[in-house]
Structure 1
Amino acid sequence: MATVSALIAGPESQLFTKPEESLHDFAGRLLDHKMFGAIVRNQIGEVVGVITEHDMVREAFQKK
């Protein structure tokens, strides 16, 4: 059976962002890295959440 570690083989397989990064910039980085989400870290490097493409789509449609 596959494990989570198989999906996170190294730093190149992980994408990080900060809460203050704009969604536009973040979406561009997701596309550039061919990723579907990222780990959100605060200014001191603590993990504070995860954001995905799904989160951004939901936010865009809830604004209408």
Structure 2
Amino acid sequence: MSELIWHKSSFSEAGGNNCVEVATSGDAVALRESDAPARVIVADRRALRGLILDIKAESLGTPPR
């Protein structure tokens, strides 16, 4: 993965060390906690979108539709 450009939410604290940061590269989405930037989670865009939709729908742990 090439050099990533990290983005923070506009809801982050002014100090900037209490948020999740997001970067993209092709079909991958990288996530990290601002106070532990060396630990990065990388996911496929489609898989991450599915996870977020399931969390919003509160359907984690239910059989697939």
| TM-score, length basis structure 2 | 0.35
Pick the structure with greater CA Rg. Answer: 2
- Structure with higher strand content: 2
| TM-score, length basis structure 1 | 0.35
- Structure with higher helix content: 1
* Larger RCO (CA within 8 A; separation ≥ 6): 1
